[in-house]
Amino acid sequence: MYPDRRGLLIGVLLCALVAGSWWLKLNVDSDQRLEQRPPHAPDYWVDRLSARTTDETGRVRRILSATVMRHYPDDDSTELEAPELLLLEPGKPPWRIRSENGWVSPDGELVLLRGEVTVEREAADGVLPLNLRTRDLRIQPQQEYAETEHAVRGESGPNWVESEGLQLWLRQPVRIKLLAQVRARYEVNP
């Protein structure tokens, strides 16, 4: 009693079909798992952040604070609520830069301050007070450089200036480059 060849062939084909279906299901499931990316969700956060950066002598040069800081592992970025950046220079009043929220690149080389932004520096001997208001400021903290393409209004005592766009070098010598549509009023005292 040998099984006929036709029945054997059908049995082998059915086994091959089952094995092929099983292999295909495993590969499709693994491809779908690879396509699923983790959501952009924080892996940790800090309330009332205050981070200090020092120079080679140990002197505090920058203080970054925020009401909330969130770190995102999918792109290694950091988001800040109500950030404030203080740039300190010995013998000079500090630069105080604030905004509604912010984003910090993974390497810390770029800080994007989003929403309403203020840049302030108090008066001191040989230093005029300065108050700048704009939106969406890009800062390179290591270079102490900031820029925006949005409208800017700067005030220093009774003097004011308005511009579309700004480049600001915060290191000595401090420089401001107004990019377009500049209007200003300066009072001259006799």
CA 141 – CA 50 distance, rounded (Å): 16
* Claim to verify: residue 63 and residue 116 sit in the same structural domain: yes
The torsion region of residue 91 among left (phi > 0), alpha (psi -120 to 50) and beta comes to left
User: CA 188 from chain center: how many Å?
Assistant: 41
Q: Which residues contact 38 (CB under 8 A, 6 or more apart)?
A: 73, 74
What length does the chain have? Answer: 190
* Claim to verify: residue 77 and residue 21 sit in the same structural domain: no
In this structure, what CATH number is given to the domain that contains residue 151?
2.60.450.10
* Claim to verify: residue 26 and residue 70 sit in the same structural domain: no
* Claim to verify: residue 80 and residue 122 sit in the same structural domain: yes
Amino acid in position 139? I
Average pLDDT (37-55) is: 86
| pLDDT above 60 for 152 | yes
| 139 within some domain | yes
* pLDDT (tens digit per residue) in 76-125: 999 999 999 998 888 888 999 999 999 999 998 999 999 999 999 998 88
What's the burial of 38, exposed, middle or buried (CB within 10 Å: 0-12/13-18/19+)? exposed
Average pLDDT (39-61) is: 89
* Claim to verify: residue 97 and residue 177 sit in the same structural domain: yes
Identify the sign of the CA torsion 164, 118, 172, 51. negative
| 190 within some domain | no
Task: Give me the number of domains the chain comprises.
Answer: 2
* Claim to verify: residue 103 and residue 61 sit in the same structural domain: yes
| pLDDT above 90 for 146 | yes
The torsion region of residue 157 among left (phi > 0), alpha (psi -120 to 50) and beta comes to left
Domain that holds residue 116: 44-185
| pLDDT above 90 for 154 | yes
Q: Which two tokens stand for residue 163?
A: 């511009």
CA 115 – CA 2 distance, rounded (Å): 84
Average pLDDT (15-34) is: 68
| 91 within some domain | yes
| 178 within some domain | yes
CA distances from 87 to 17, 65, 90, 147 (A): 70, 12, 10, 16
